[in-house]
Structure 1
Amino acid sequence: MSAGAASGFLVIGHRGARGHAPENTLLSIDIGIKLGAHWVELDVQQLGDELLLMHDLRLDRTTNGRGLLAEYTFEELRRLDAGQGQQIPTLQEALDLVDQRVGVNIELKTWGGCASAVARVLRDYLADGWPAERLQVSSFHLPELWEFRQLLPEVPVGALVCGVPLDWAGAAAELGAASLNISDEFVDDKLVTDAHARGLKVYAYTVNHPDDVRALRAQGVDGIFTDFPDRALKAIGGR
């Protein structure tokens, strides 16, 4: 997950560019790219045969719908407003919009089949010429991530954690992950050192203050997820 940043420090647009447009929409993704993000991060949930971009299991916060996403049909979900008149997009629509302009980190938000469904979609995009190194799949649900790794080992994975594991970066290394993606609240010097010693990158989420961006970079973190890619790039002297 290193392509796209001349400085070696990745700025990853969180849910597209969540600070500028409704999250996980095509508008947010497009704005994130136009603001100069090296990568964009998207949240994916499985609904039957479809993969939809949505962070929460419930619709209330990000759409004009109510209740659980899983209680709706695909057609009903597509009629909802995800903000500023945007639809809830499919993973394929998002990838088609990106069109290899930046890298894409896909976070699995559900399990029990989501890994397999995402692998099927990405296999088609790889066959159409997408470089595997411009994709990454991440999750807090490490068994689901392990399943994805078995199905499509050429696509790198990122182990998500919200805290400092007892074995430092050990579980991520055992998984064969390319990166450890950790909450900025828990970035620990020993964890960064251990991850790097195991050949892992460290990416921190969600970092929106310029001072925090600069501090994490000085601490050895390899990149950040941010709602404001433009602020982060300015903080590190980029575009």
Structure 2
Amino acid sequence: MTDAKKSAPLTVIGHRGARGHAPENTLLALDTGIRLGADWLEFDVQLADGELWLMHDLSVDRTTNGHGLLTAMSADAIRALDAGEGQAVPTLREALDLIDNRAGVNIELKTWNGCAQAVAAVLRDVIADGWPAERFQVSSFHHPELWEFHALLPQVPIGALICGVPLDWAACASELGAQILSVSSEFVDDKLVRDAHARGLRLYVYTINEPAEMQALRALGVDGLFSDFPDRVPR
């Protein structure tokens, strides 16, 4: 373990805003993440009824007082949902208006029904209005959708999400033209970290909530942590 690994600053990414403190993927969670000092805010988007909504699950059952698939609902029905503590399900534009460049934005594409194209259109407008492109990251487990987004808006960095270690280690992220590889914590080891760094990638780990695990991953030399509790991540 080197001193450089011990002292390297970690990028703190508030997971679904700050879901340990507020209902996930809501404006309250995003505002809480900013207040708690997250460098970046991660949230999930899906395309339904011509609008981009912050929602992780394909169904609204777990996180709202509604039932059914988000993509089967009208915009009016989605707006009527309670996402917890009286919070509405926000749109991407509403989320960006709230954040207002006070933190970086990590958008995860959850669906593949035109989501990449719709997100690219929104970010293109926001960047034209003055947000730096590098203040955004777009990620997905659905690598073809991520590839499509990258082709549409190459100036916005992308991150490849994986749950496991591919045979070619971090090469999948390099092949996508990604700047970031994000991996589930149980699959992180020194070889994956070294391979990612040798390819010029940043390695982020999700979703880390316990301080002891945060310290262990920091010692391995990872670059950033997704956490429901961004205030717990060591600086």
TM tier relative to shorter chain: over 0.9
Within-5 A mapping of 1:51-90 = 51-90=52-91
Normalised by the size of structure 1, how large is the TM-score? 0.94
Match of 1:9 in 2: 10
Query: Is contact 2:48-2:72 (8 Å) kept?
Result: no
Query: Is contact 1:164-1:188 (8 Å) kept?
Result: no
The CA deviation string for residues 109-163 of structure 1, in whole angstroms up to 9 with x for no partner, is 0003100000000000100110111100000000000000000000000000000
Query: Number of aligned pairs?
Result: 229
Letter matched to residue 13 of structure 2: I
Match of 1:212 in 2: 213
CA distance in 2 between counterparts of 1:186 and 1:31 reads 29
CA distance in 1 between counterparts of 2:207 and 2:213 reads 10
Match of 2:110 in 1: 109
Normalised by the size of structure 2, how large is the TM-score? 0.96
Unmatched tracts of structure 1, length 5 or more: 1-5
Q: CA deviation at 1:48?
A: 3.1
Q: CA deviation at 1:52?
A: 0.1
Please identify runs of 4+ aligned residues in structure 1 that moved more than 6 A. Answer: none
Match of 2:38 in 1: 37
SS in 2 for 1:33: helix
Match of 1:3 in 2: none
Change (3 A) 1:167 1:7: closer
Letter matched to residue 80 of structure 1: L
CA distance in 2 between counterparts of 1:225 and 1:115 reads 22
1:227 and 2:228 aligned: yes
Match of 1:138 in 2: 139
Query: Is contact 1:112-1:144 (8 Å) kept?
Result: no
Q: CA deviation at 1:90?
A: 0.1
Letter matched to residue 28 of structure 1: A
Letter matched to residue 107 of structure 2: I
Alignment RMSD, CA only?
A: 1.1
Letter matched to residue 82 of structure 2: D
SS in 1 for 2:94: helix
